[in-house]
Structure formats: C-alpha cells, structure tokens
Amino acid sequence: MAEREAAKGRVHLVGAGPGDPELLTLKAVRLLERADAVVHDRLVSAEILAMAPARARMIPVGKAAGFHSVPQERINEILAELAREGLEVVRLKGGDPFIFGRGSEEAAYLRARGIAVDICPGITSAQGAAAGTGVPLTHRGLASGVRYVTGHRQGSAPLDLDWQGLSDPATTLVIYMGATNIAEIAFHLMAAGRPGATPVMAVSGATTAAEQRHVSRLDRIGLEMRLSPLPSPVLFIVGDVVRLADAGGGERLTLSAAAIGAGAANRIAAALKGI
C-alpha cells in the first residue's frame, strides 16, 4: 500500500539558477506553476517563489554557513512524506541541483524508497557570474579548461583538494562556498605553483540587483576579503580569464577609499607592504 501511495507523487529537483528570475528555464517555470508543494533553499528569491500557485505549500529548508535550520536528513524525509501524499513536489535549489547542491543525495534517498524523481537543471552560479561580469570560463590562449571546487568541508573538516592539479595556469578555477577559507585556499594554490599574480574575481549576489564584485590577485585576495568581506554567498573565479572582465560594472569594488572606506583602504595598503 505504501509503495502504491508513493507512486502517486513525484519530486522534481529544480535548479533556480544564480538569482535573476529571468535565468530560470521554461521547464522550471512550468513545474513551479503546477507544484502542490515547494521545498526551497534560503537563497531562492521571493520573485521566483511567487511563481508557485497560491495553493502550494511553501516549505523553507535553507542553510547558511555554520547554521542548518533543517538537517539534510530531515529534508530527505520531508520530500518523501510529501510525495507519499500524492503531491507534485518541487525541490527548488539555487544554481543547479547537481552542482554542490546535494541533489544527487536527495534523489538517491527518494529512489531507494520507490518515489519518482526527475531533474530540471539550472544555470549554475559560475555561469551566471561569468556572464554577468564578462569573464569567460574558458578562452583560447588563456584557459583550455575549467574546474569547479567547494571551498568548504562538512563539519569544518580540513580541505583536501587536488592542489597540484588546481595550480595549472591553463585551467580556470571556480570556488564555491570559499569565503571563509579563501586565504588558506590561496596559500595552498601558490604553494603548489600557481603564481601569486594570478587574477582573482570575487562575486557576491551574482546576477541580482545586489551583485558586488572585487578584482584582486591570488597573493592578496585572502587579506582583502578579511578586511573588507563581501556579503554571502561569494563565488571566486581564479585565472587569467579574469583579465577580460567587463570594466563597465558600476558595482565593482576596488582597493580605494571610495569603494571600501578610507580606513580599510589604509589598513590594506599597510598590510600589503609585508607581502
């Protein structure tokens, strides 16, 4: 009986994209408009959530660094419970559900219990940040490949990334969830041979009205982010492609009193003398 009830419902793992509602796919909009329940992350905007019908149950399960309002195990159970009620469930995740979104874990949990699951991909945060800033993730003569990594480990476990592989200057490196550990990440990359002068762009709130950018270099980004942090979430793009960034971004942060305040600018300038 439980298996027959489970078969009535379905869970759609849907990518909400990087933030701009216009970057949703047509399929994502269609699924939202017919959803009976929407289980959504913290960073999904109100404009996107408003696309769900008024009758839909809206269930926030967002996470922030160091604070999980709903444990992942409970999220899995909520999805299963809603599907067993025979509902069309949209599990709405920022970016793409299979890029550092734990979507594959949720899919495996549900399928193991006989619950139908399908995937609706979304534009990744990396793609949105690249398009919005004019930074290509690959470019002939500058970057022949791109790698996505997470700068955070569960339970604050030590970072154990492939530092040697990530130090390849022909590879663009995109770092998710790395704001807290960016100084450590930069240190390991330089220790593995990535030049300290490698350009780095930090992007906060990519593709939204609140977007902020900061262009720096690998040997300075850790200090600068500590003295003048950007609002979470922050994505880092590391590589020579950052030199192609769109200079027209009016919200770009720079090492100047006008952008970060005279006090912070003076502290950075003094600290950088020792680098």
Alpha carbon 78 to chain centroid, angstroms? 23
pLDDT at 104 > cutoff 60: yes
Task: Reply yes or no on whether the pLDDT at 8 is more than 70.
Answer: yes
pLDDT bracket for residue 229 (50, 70, 90): very high
- CA-to-CA distance for 30 and 123, rounded, in angstroms? 16
Phi first, then psi: give them for residue 246, nearest 5 degrees.
-65, 115
Q: How far apart are CA 19 and CA 209, in angstroms?
A: 9
Per-residue model confidence (pLDDT) at position 152? 79
**What residue ranges define each of the domains in the chain, with the CATH number in brackets?**
2-123 (3.40.1010.10), 126-272 (3.30.950.10)
Q: Is 63 a catalytic residue?
A: yes
pLDDT of residue 259: 37
Catalytic residue among 41, 96, 201, 225: 41
pLDDT for 65 = 53
In whole numbers, what is the pLDDT of the chain averaged over residues?
Answer: 87
Tens digit of each residue's pLDDT (9 = 90 or more) over 121-170? 999 999 999 999 999 999 999 999 999 999 977 666 778 899 999 999 99
Q: What is the pTM of this model?
A: 0.84
Buried-state track 29-62, b at ≥16 Cβ within 10 A, e below 16: eebbeebbbbbbbebbbeebbebbeeebeebebe
Return the residue matching tokens 């734990």: 102
Q: Which H, E and C letters describe 5-61, residue by residue? A: HHHHCEEEEEECECCCHHHCCHHHHHHHHCCCEEEECCCCCHHHHCCCCCCCEEEEC
Asked if residues 28 and 14 have their Cβ atoms less than 8 Å apart, the reply is: yes
Strand 212-217's sheet: what is its strand order?
145-150, 171-176, 234-238, 199-204, 212-217, 252-253
pLDDT 10s digits, 16-65: 999 999 999 999 999 999 999 999 998 899 999 999 999 999 999 976 55
> Residue 245 in contact with residue 142, Cβ under 8 Å?
no
84 confidence band (pLDDT: 50, 70, 90): very high
Amino acid found at 208:
T
Annotated active-site residue in 36, 51, 93, 177: 177
CB 15 within 8 A of CB 121: yes
Please name every residue paired with 64 in a beta bridge, in sequence order, or none if there are none. Answer: 67
Look at residue 264 and tell me whether its pLDDT is greater than 90.
Answer: no
3-state secondary structure of 188: helix
Q: Are strands 88-93 and 171-176 parallel, antiparallel or unpaired?
A: unpaired
Catalytic residue among 8, 27, 63, 240: 63
> Catalytic residue at 177?
yes
In this structure, are residues 234 and 178 in contact, taking their beta carbons and an 8 Å threshold? yes
Where is average pLDDT lowest: 11-15, 65-69, 264-268? 264-268
Is the pLDDT score of 261 beyond 50? no
Kind of pairing, strands 10-15 and 88-93? Answer: parallel
